[in-house]
Amino acid sequence: MMHHPARHIGHHAMMMMTHSMRSGAGVAFIFLTIIIGLSLANLTVTPVELEMITVEELQDSSAKFIGVALATATLRASGGDDNSDSLTSRMETGDLVDLGMWARYLVVENPMLLSITVLLLGVVLPLLLPLGSFTVISGDVQHRTVRYLLPRTTRSSILLGRWLGSLILSWALILFLISSVVIYLSIMIPSESLEDLIPWGGRCFLALFFLTIPYVSLGILCSATFSAPMVALLAAIGATVGIPLLSLSLQEAWEPLGNLLYLLPWGYSHQLLSPSMENFFEASAYCLGHAALFLTLALLKFRRADL
Amino acid sequence: MAVNDRPGGMTALSVLNGFFALGVGGTTIQRFVASYELMAKMDGSGRFGRRRGQYFQSLLDEGLTPLDLQILGVMGLIATIFLLVSIWGILKQSNLLGRWLGTIGGVALACFSVFSILWLPDSFLRGSGLSIARQMFFPVFLIFMLHVIFRRDFLNNRQNS
């Protein structure tokens, strides 16, 4: 009896989520994502909560730091003098004024502690997401168990279903993390009101929602490419860490090489928290484009694989 | 093929149990030591440096008593022992030693965190509330995994044995 492919994909997604929670890698992924996410939030909140620093002082210092980080991410830090003081002055009066305003939008116009937490998550999540997807295909290929599924379903359904399952699990974890931080901030930090936190929390979730898609797809691509799960994990994390390091160091030698950053969403992912909704939609579209590319490559690889 | 049918997640969960048992065990020792130091401060028999003496005096001024620390120590001790025993139980997929001792260990760990927040002054906790909320995640996660995700594994193993 033939079933609709969408039902097969949904079934594989459900099975993938159930299996993931029962596997060692899945438990490690869920546990590490939540613990590291809450630790990042704790790192942000502690100085304010223990009154080691005032909200205004943190706003001022974090606006400068975020401005410098944005200048680096947009490959505009190397213009002008090299020291960070000149970067600060360029953000106040020079060619980086837009970045200074962007940083102020994140920490002054919106709940600062949530913005900083989400920015940190945006850096750390790409390293954690491969943990949730590296065994999705390679685990079954290594043990040659995937062949038992093939008489009843298609390779494309397996891959797409497991990709969807990984995504839903990652989104659920991110939603849990952001909700926990929003609830905690609204109760414990009087300067962060629930009326501001809820819409900004929604926007932050959307940003991480789109950021997750290409990195999970990259994990699936590595999982479909390498039959040994640990090699797939190393490849996914290696690419995620290596590309920004490589591009930023090569940029010193020849500036156009900095554009290697765009091989992964590192080059534009910060635009997901841009004040301009146009930039947000553009960055979301790029995320989907990257994901489509990785997923197509993974499909091609998996359909031709000797299972 | 795997040598036995124990899901990998159970092994991972038992490793996490071990980490948290050691963590809460260390804190438990600290609670007992602090309670005896506080008693020594109260009856004037202890010899402390000036700063440490001031610190214990400030804890007493904030209403902390040695009994509070000892009760927390007992909770921590229960959590440590039950979590350690449940490692073996989870690896053996034993319903009693794994699932139920793990649950009691998780509840004791949660109580240990909650009562630490309620009873201990901020200067003693040396952390924000979010770090304690983070500690609360593991007991909730452990109980969810034992009673929802791995429930059938424990029950099937009980029927088979």
Q: How many CB pairs under 8 A join A and B?
A: 64
The sign one gets for the Cα dihedral B89, B144, A15, A289 is: negative
Higher pLDDT: B159 or A35? It is: A35
Return the half-sphere exposure (C-beta side, CA atoms, 13 A cut-off) of residue A170: 28
Inter-chain CB proximity A34 and B131 less than 8 Å: no
DSSP strands (E only) in chain A: none
Look up residue A297 and give its two tokens: 């490559």
Residue A83 has pLDDT above 60, yes or no: no
* pLDDT score of A1: 47
Inter-chain CB proximity B141 and A26 less than 8 Å: no
Residue B1 lies in a domain: no
Name the minimum distance, in Å, from the CA of A180 to any CA of chain B.
9
Burial class (CB in 10 A: 0-12, 13-18, 19+), A82: exposed
Name the minimum distance, in Å, from the CA of A79 to any CA of chain B.
40
Write out the residue range of the structural domain in which residue B78 sits.
Answer: 7-160
B101-119 vs B129-144: helix axis angle to the nearest 10? 160
Q: What DSSP character marks residue B149?
A: I
pTM: 0.85
Burial class (CB in 10 A: 0-12, 13-18, 19+), A117: buried
Give the model confidence (pLDDT) of A158-187 as tens digits: 999 999 999 999 999 999 999 999 988 888
Phi-psi region of B31 (alpha: psi -120 to 50; beta: other; left: phi over 0): alpha
Beta carbons of A209 and A284 less than 8 angstroms apart: no
Q: What DSSP character marks residue A43?
A: H
Higher pLDDT: A93 or A36? It is: A36
Beta carbons of A107 and A201 less than 8 angstroms apart: no
Cα A292 from chain centre: 16
Q: What DSSP character marks residue A94?
A: S
Inter-chain CB proximity B7 and A22 less than 8 Å: yes
* pLDDT score of B4: 66
Closest listed residue to residue A61, CA positions, set A125, A126, A143, A116: A116
Buried b (16+ CB within 10 A) or exposed e, B21-36: bebbbebbeebbebbe
* pLDDT score of B127: 62
How far apart CA A298 and CA A295 sit, in angstroms, is 5
Mean pLDDT of chain A: 88
Give the model confidence (pLDDT) of B79-97 as tens digits: 999 999 999 999 999 999 9
Q: How confident is the model at residue A224 (pLDDT cuts 50, 70, 90)?
A: very high
Percentage of chain A exceeding pLDDT 90? 47
Residue B2 lies in a domain: no
Tell me if chain A has a CB within 8 Å of the CB of B140: no
Residue B56 lies in a domain: yes
Residue A31 has pLDDT above 50, yes or no: yes
* pLDDT score of A235: 95
Q: How confident is the model at residue A72 (pLDDT cuts 50, 70, 90)?
A: confident
A155-188 vs A112-133: helix axis angle to the nearest 10? 150
Find the angle CA(B26)-CA(B30)-CA(B36) to the nearest 5 degrees.
Answer: 150
The sign one gets for the Cα dihedral B66, B69, B73, B74 is: positive
Most distant pair of Cα atoms in chain A: their distance: 69
- Reported ipTM: the value is 0.78
How far apart CA A98 and CA A299 sit, in angstroms, is 41
* pLDDT score of A79: 60
Residue A106 has pLDDT above 50, yes or no: yes
Inter-chain CB proximity A188 and B145 less than 8 Å: no
Residue ranges in chain B whose pLDDT is less than 50: 1-2
Closest listed residue to residue A221, CA positions, set A95, A129, A92, A93: A129
Buried b (16+ CB within 10 A) or exposed e, B49-84: eeeeeeebeebeeeebebebbbbbbebbbbbbbbbb
Inter-chain CB proximity A45 and B130 less than 8 Å: yes
Residue B84 lies in a domain: yes
Give the model confidence (pLDDT) of A274-286 as tens digits: 999 999 999 999 9
* Phi, psi angle pair for B63, to nearest 5°: 95, 10
Domain count, chain B: 1
Q: In chain A, what are the domain boundaries?
A: 5-304
How far apart CA A166 and CA A20 sit, in angstroms, is 8
| Mutation site for A-interface testing, chosen from B126, B134, B140 by largest number of A Cβ within 10 Å | B134
Look up tokens 């390091």; give the residue. A245
**How many of the other CB atoms lie within 10 Å of CB of A288?**
14
Look up tokens 């109760």; give the residue. A187
* B137 neighbourhood in chain A, CB within 8 Å: 34-35, 38
DSSP string, B10-74: HHHHHHHHHHHHHHHHHHHHHHHHHHHHHHHHHHT-----HHHHHHHHHHHHTT--HHHHHHHHH
A98 Cβ contact list (under 8 Å, min separation 6): none
How far apart CA A226 and CA A209 sit, in angstroms, is 26
Mean pLDDT across A5-31: 90
For B:1-30, CB contacts with A below 8 A are: 1, 7-9, 11-13, 16
Name the minimum distance, in Å, from the CA of B48 to any CA of chain A.
27
Mean pLDDT across A121-150: 88
Q: Which residue of B has its CA nearest to A140?
A: B1
Look up tokens 């909320």; give the residue. B133
Tell me the residue type at A29.
F
Mean pLDDT across A150-154: 84
| Mutation site for A-interface testing, chosen from B4, B14, B16, B128 by largest number of A Cβ within 10 Å | B128
How far apart CA A304 and CA A295 sit, in angstroms, is 14
How far apart CA A114 and CA A182 sit, in angstroms, is 7
Tell me if chain A has a CB within 8 Å of the CB of B134: yes
Higher pLDDT: A29 or A189? It is: A29
Residue A2 has pLDDT above 70, yes or no: no
Interface of A with B (CB under 8 A): 21-28, 30-31, 34-35, 38-39, 41-42, 45-46, 49-50, 143, 180-181, 184, 188
Q: How confident is the model at residue A81 (pLDDT cuts 50, 70, 90)?
A: low
